Amino acid sequence: MRKRVLPAALAVLALLSFSAGAALTGDPETAAPEGSPLPAEAVTGPAAAPPAVVTLLDVDGLKVSQSTSRVAVDGLQVAPEGYCINQENYYKLRDLAYLLSGKKSAFDVIWDDQLSCISMLSGKDYTVAGGEMLPSGSASIYKFVPSYSAVRLNGEPVQMTGYNINNNNYYRIRDVAPLVGFGIDWDKDTYTVVIDSKTEETPQPSVPDVTPPAAQMPPTTPETPQEPDLPDSDIRIPVVTPEDQLPTDILFGPSDKEDPEAPGEPEEPVYPWIGPCIDGELTILLDPGHGGSDAGSSNPVTGQAENRTNLTVAKYLKEMLEEEGVRVIMTRSSTSTNLRGTDRKARVREICEEGELDLVLSIHHNGSTKHTARGSELFVQPAGLSPHAGQDGKVDSSVTSQALGKRLLNSYLSMGLGLTSRGVKETNSYYMVYTSGQYGIPAVLSEFCFIDNADDVKLIDSDDDLKAEAKAIFDALMGLYETTPY
């Protein structure tokens, strides 16, 4: 029943600039796979000094820098882009798969559309999607959230610690190695992560026998991986949007918009029809997106992030609504509230099942890959989320959802701010929208503007601005419920 946004494999990771361009060196045996932009040279000699480490981000006890470690695969130096997070190295799965292609521990990485997960297949050469080994082209970090993508290896769910940094997923190499079966070690003299592709299956993460220098080496004791139980949408690909316009908040996926259920689980059950509660009291669930360690999209210059911005708008809106006698429930009321996707979805279900709800409204502010995208975008329900809709006079929730989406867009565009329209779009992917629809309750996810864009952010960079946004939402809601029963 539920369709998903079609991903175009992992190619989205290839968006960014190409700068390697080094010629292949070495003999064909040891050179990188064909078409590789990466230099393959033998690791020679000790590094003169530990490479300088520039901390790019220091939040929530996490220190993040571009990885300055060398990487060698079977003695040949390669250059995957990586990050060093609390002294552990993280790389893209695709780059690792690319580097190991044709070798004993080769593995493929694809997006499994059916299971909505990243699928790793061992013993298979990597399917080149384009863009492997390219640097991201960004010197700063404008997005850093845990990667909630579900990952499977040969069909079985696996857990690895990963982070979505600037819309690419990076996984702790210490977690990848034992899963895929390559050896990993640390050469303290050359500051090199040593990958041995020929290692027989390695059942456990191995403990290096040397102490790594700080900020370079994966720790010897693997930490409990953060549960990657929430699919990111970071490898879902838009079909038409120019690449510099890719809205990251939507397409690359903050955790709270994605289906947190483990992929591959049996079909979702048919949820009971609950529908809007027609009792004369308008009850709205306001969901300020993100929160806690998930800041959402942010502005690279001002640092303004969705966490607080979404919450502030929601709080103003709550005040306005309550003054009109509307009952408001919030998914979170603090910037420090961590609401992982699973928790958020459970909360929505719980509130839906209380049976008093009329509407779910999720408040977000967008971001794009190159910070150039602008404008308002609304995500609404498609028809048929609840199989009960249309029977026995039960109105499909998409009717109200879509009507509100249009009203919100019109309300935003008529604020006189010069906001451009990106349209009202149906989504089957964002659980804040479809979860309530499964019970027959309307929902809309609002992206007022692009918080990461230099011009758009000016529309939301003061309390008055956020109040104005709340008022625009309020007006749209009041207009809708003049004629919609509640």
User: Where do contacts with Zn ion occur on this chain (CB under 5 A)?
Assistant: 249, 254, 289, 296, 306, 364
Give the shortest CB-146-to-Zn ion separation in angstroms: 15
The C-alpha atoms of residue 387 and residue 270 are separated, in whole angstroms, by 7
Give the shortest CB-447-to-Zn ion separation in angstroms: 7
CA angle in degrees (0–180, nearest 5) for 57-61-62? 40
Give the shortest CB-74-to-Zn ion separation in angstroms: 42
The strand pairing partners of 70, in sequence order, are: 192
Best CA proximity match to 474, nearest among 424, 422, 404: 404
Give the shortest CB-376-to-Zn ion separation in angstroms: 14
Q: Which is nearer to Zn ion, 162 or 296 (CB)?
A: 296
Best CA proximity match to 470, nearest among 416, 418, 408: 408
Q: Which is nearer to Zn ion, 205 or 296 (CB)?
A: 296
Best CA proximity match to 90, nearest among 65, 56, 110: 65
Best CA proximity match to 432, nearest among 422, 446, 419: 446
Q: Which is nearer to Zn ion, 306 or 469 (CB)?
A: 306
Which residue in the shown chain puts its C-beta closest to Zn ion? 364
Longest CA span, the chain = 78
Give the shortest CB-225-to-Zn ion separation in angstroms: 24
CB 202 within 8 A of CB 196: no
Q: Which is nearer to Zn ion, 289 or 375 (CB)?
A: 289
The secondary structure of residue 66, as a DSSP letter, is E
Q: Which is nearer to Zn ion, 306 or 377 (CB)?
A: 306
Give the shortest CB-57-to-Zn ion separation in angstroms: 19
The C-alpha atoms of residue 401 and residue 437 are separated, in whole angstroms, by 9
Q: Which is nearer to Zn ion, 89 or 309 (CB)?
A: 309
The C-alpha atoms of residue 106 and residue 124 are separated, in whole angstroms, by 6
Task: Transcribe 127-168 into DSSP letters.
Answer: ---S-TT-----SS-S-EEE----EEETTEEE---EEEETTE
Q: Which is nearer to Zn ion, 131 or 254 (CB)?
A: 254
Give the shortest CB-111-to-Zn ion separation in angstroms: 22
Query: What SS3 class is residue 463?
Result: helix
- Nearby residues of 168 by Cβ (< 8 Å), 6 or more positions away: 13, 92, 136, 234
The C-alpha atoms of residue 233 and residue 10 are separated, in whole angstroms, by 11
The strand pairing partners of 158, in sequence order, are: 151
Residue 324 has phi, psi (to 5 degrees) of -95, 10
Best CA proximity match to 237, nearest among 224, 228, 246: 246
Give the shortest CB-297-to-Zn ion separation in angstroms: 6
Q: Which is nearer to Zn ion, 80 or 254 (CB)?
A: 254
Mode of pairing for the β-strands spanning 376-380 and 76-78: unpaired
Give the shortest CB-218-to-Zn ion separation in angstroms: 31
Give the shortest CB-364-to-Zn ion separation in angstroms: 3
Q: Which is nearer to Zn ion, 296 or 442 (CB)?
A: 296
Q: Which is nearer to Zn ion, 218 or 254 (CB)?
A: 254
The C-alpha atoms of residue 443 and residue 401 are separated, in whole angstroms, by 5
